[in-house]
């Protein structure tokens, strides 16, 4: 990760010159690797600038260091958190795996094979050195696709049903063994708060639950039913009740959570970006990286490459737009392999480009190089209908007009600020027309729109307006000024 760009305007929250600060240690507990979490990065940056210590306790994945220091001064400590590592009684696992293999061999009329591996133990891997357990990639695999015995299918179903609790078990155990200890724990998201609560109870310090989504209405949990959904809801209510404070990212989420989680209305800390001044003249980062023609206009989607984010509708919208407009998908997620394949095929070849995510310190510099930021998030869940995503505020901060889903969460902000065009996110034609209405503007009109976005970001929707409330809450919880 690189240094914060010079064009980022320094935070305007109270500093040591105006408020006595007692140096303290914040531990941000993340359910991800800590590479691209903008909200955690913004919190860490402000606290480091105020003389505090910050540690990100994150999840390890192959290819990343178990410990590293970010240039701005916080430390990242990563631990293993996997389903396989969370399984109890390793000897029983090995015997069960052997039994399944023998049953499969008997059904196939042959000798036992080594084609199925069930949660192997790892005695010398880096994962064990950071607190124990098998690597996250250790999963049951089958040599003969489409041919599996009933015991194996039953075993796989059990593992899938227990994936969340087993992963949490692994994460909790290895987090305890990490040696990290703080004055306050800030648990990020559904899979971060139970780890933060466990460490907070051990150290007898406050714990903040940062509920950044309505999790039962988001991604995999949104598809859960019956007992699984009931257990997930019950677990989150328990975590929220044990937290010292619940915070979230917008008022609509806060209203839903206060009722569902049965807690005091969560404190709203919006996911706004820093006040920022784009480079003049605009940089050409996408053109340079992707080899685009000088006159090419860039439509940017940045963020998670996941279902229901409107990426498919964006790609369809591009087919009706004239030449000279490219779509850049910058991020990571489960759809990446599919999107890369589609981007290489007609009619997308040469018009749709994929890029890896960039670190938070560089993000606004990249966004500011786009002509349009697109976020046609689909109205597939309550979570999506009420969302106010990072990318909306990042586009605003970078001075880039947006094409935005006409959904309750985002629409109010877009209408108030005039920072974008609202569309039906399911209508690829409408998305295309909205993109065209921006990229075809005369330069002077586009620049006026840019200034409107920047004014809204500087005056109201900036991280500086949000972080002061977070620091006040930290101070209330620990009894010492942050």
Rounded Cα distance, 364 and 398, in Å: 6
Q: What is the SS3 assignment for 445-463?
A: HHHHHHHHHHHHHHHCCCH
CATH homologous superfamily, domain 1-275+462-482:
Glycogen Phosphorylase B; (3.40.50.2000)
Place of tokens 């919208």: 317
H or E segment to which residue 188 belongs: strand 184-188
- Same topology, domains 1-275+462-482 and 285-461? Answer is yes
* DSSP secondary structure code for residue 265 in this structure: P
**Do 50 and 125 meet the contact criterion of CB atoms below 8 Å apart?**
no
Domain range summary for the chain, segments of one domain joined by +: 1-275+462-482, 285-461
**Do 20 and 27 meet the contact criterion of CB atoms below 8 Å apart?**
no
Complete edge-to-edge strand list for the sheet that includes strand 67-69: 67-69, 75-79, 53-59, 25-29, 184-188, 207-210, 245-248, 267-268
- Map residue 420 onto helix, strand or coil: strand
User: What distances in angstroms separate CA 229 from CA 156, 188, 223, 226, 259, one per listed residue?
Assistant: 19, 20, 9, 6, 17
H or E segment to which residue 97 belongs: helix 90-108
Rounded Cα distance, 69 and 62, in Å: 18
Written as six digits, the tokens of 465 are 């307006």
How many CA atoms are closer than 13 Å to the CA of 185, on its beta-carbon side?
30
Written as six digits, the tokens of 418 are 């005039």
Identify the CATH class of 285-461: alpha beta
Q: Which of 81, 49, 36, 47 is nearest to 172 (CA)?
A: 81
Packing angle, helices 408-417 and 443-459, rounded to 10: 110
How many CA atoms are closer than 13 Å to the CA of 334, on its beta-carbon side?
6
Instruction: Give me the pLDDT at residue 126, please.
Output: 42
pLDDT in single tens digits along all 482 residues of the chain: 334 444 665 444 554 444 689 999 999 999 999 999 999 999 999 999 999 999 999 999 999 999 999 999 999 999 999 988 887 765 555 566 566 666 656 655 554 444 333 333 333 334 434 454 433 333 334 344 444 566 665 555 555 567 888 899 999 999 999 999 999 999 999 999 999 999 999 999 999 999 999 999 987 777 778 888 899 999 999 999 999 999 999 999 999 999 999 999 999 999 999 999 999 999 999 999 999 999 999 999 999 999 999 999 999 999 999 999 999 999 999 999 999 999 999 999 999 999 999 999 999 999 999 999 999 999 999 999 999 999 999 999 999 999 999 999 999 999 999 999 999 999 999 999 999 999 999 999 999 999 999 999 999 999 999 999 999 999 999 999 99
Complete edge-to-edge strand list for the sheet that includes strand 420-423: 352-355, 325-332, 297-304, 372-375, 402-405, 420-423
Backbone dihedral angles phi then psi of residue 140, each to the nearest 5 degrees: -60, 130
**Do 161 and 8 meet the contact criterion of CB atoms below 8 Å apart?**
no
Rounded Cα distance, 33 and 81, in Å: 11
In 162-225, alpha helices (H): 163-176, 193-203, 219-222
Instruction: Give me the pLDDT at residue 142, please.
Output: 39
**Do 374 and 402 meet the contact criterion of CB atoms below 8 Å apart?**
yes
Strands 67-69 and 75-79, by their bridges, are antiparallel
Q: Which of 19, 1, 68, 30 is nearest to 361 (CA)?
A: 1
In 299-442, alpha helices (H): 311-318, 336-343, 360-367, 382-385, 390-398, 408-417, 428-439
Q: Which of 268, 239, 272 is nearest to 253 (CA)?
A: 268
Instruction: Give me the pLDDT at residue 150, please.
Output: 65
């Amino acid at each position: 990760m690189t240094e914060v760009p010079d064009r980022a305007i320094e935070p305007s929250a109270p500093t040591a010159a105006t408020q006595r600060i007692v140096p303290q240690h914040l531990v941000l507990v993340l359910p991800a690797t800590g590479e691209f979490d903008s909200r955690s990065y913004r919190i860490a940056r402000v606290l480091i600038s105020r003389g505090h210590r910050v540690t990100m306790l994150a999840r390890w994945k192959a290819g990343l260091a178990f410990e590293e220091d970010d240039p701005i001064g916080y430390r990242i400590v990563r631990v293993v958190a996997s389903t396989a590592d969370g399984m109890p009684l390793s000897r029983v696992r090995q015997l069960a795996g052997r039994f399944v293999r023998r049953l499969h061999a008997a059904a196939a009329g042959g000798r036992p094979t080594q084609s199925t591996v069930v949660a192997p133990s790892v005695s010398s891997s880096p994962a064990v050195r950071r607190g124990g357990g098998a690597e996250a990639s250790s999963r049951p695999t089958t040599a003969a696709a489409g041919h599996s015995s009933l015991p194996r299918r039953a075993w796989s179903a059990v593992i899938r049903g227990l994936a969340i609790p087993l992963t949490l078990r692994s994460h909790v155990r290895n987090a305890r063994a990490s040696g990290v200890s703080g004055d306050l724990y800030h648990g990020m998201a559904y899979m971060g708060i139970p780890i933060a609560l466990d460490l907070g109870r051990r150290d007898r310090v406050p714990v903040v639950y940062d509920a950044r989504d309505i999790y039962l209405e988001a991604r995999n949990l949104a598809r859960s039913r019956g007992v699984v959904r009931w257990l997930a809801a019950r677990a989150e209510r328990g975590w929220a009740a044990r937290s010292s404070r619940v915070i979230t990212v917008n008022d609509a989420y806060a209203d839903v959570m206060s009722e569902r989680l049965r807690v005091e209305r969560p404190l709203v800390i919006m996911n706004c970006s820093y006040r920022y001044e784009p480079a003049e003249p605009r940089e050409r980062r996408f053109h340079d990286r992707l080899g685009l023609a000088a006159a090419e206009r860039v439509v940017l989607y940045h963020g998670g490459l996941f279902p229901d984010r409107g990426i498919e509708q964006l790609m369809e919208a591009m087919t009706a737009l004239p030449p000279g407009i490219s779509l850049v998908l910058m991020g990571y997620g489960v759809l990446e392999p599919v999107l890369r394949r589609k981007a290489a095929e007609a009619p997308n070849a040469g018009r749709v480009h994929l890029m890896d995510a960039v670190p938070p310190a560089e993000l606004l510099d990249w966004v500011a190089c786009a002509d349009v930021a697109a976020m046609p998030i689909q109205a597939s869940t309550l979570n999506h209908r009420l969302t106010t995503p990072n990318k909306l505020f990042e586009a605003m901060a970078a001075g880039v007009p947006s094409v935005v889903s006409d959904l309750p969460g985002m629409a109010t902000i877009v209408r108030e600020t005039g920072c974008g065009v609202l569309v039906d996110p399911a209508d690829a034609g409408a998305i295309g027309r909205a993109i065209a209405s921006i990229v075809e503007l005369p330069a002077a009109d586009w620049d006026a729109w840019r200034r409107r976005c920047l004014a809204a970001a500087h005056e109201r929707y900036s991280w500086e307006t949000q972080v002061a409330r977070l620091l006040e809450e930290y101070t209330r919880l620990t009894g010492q000024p942050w």
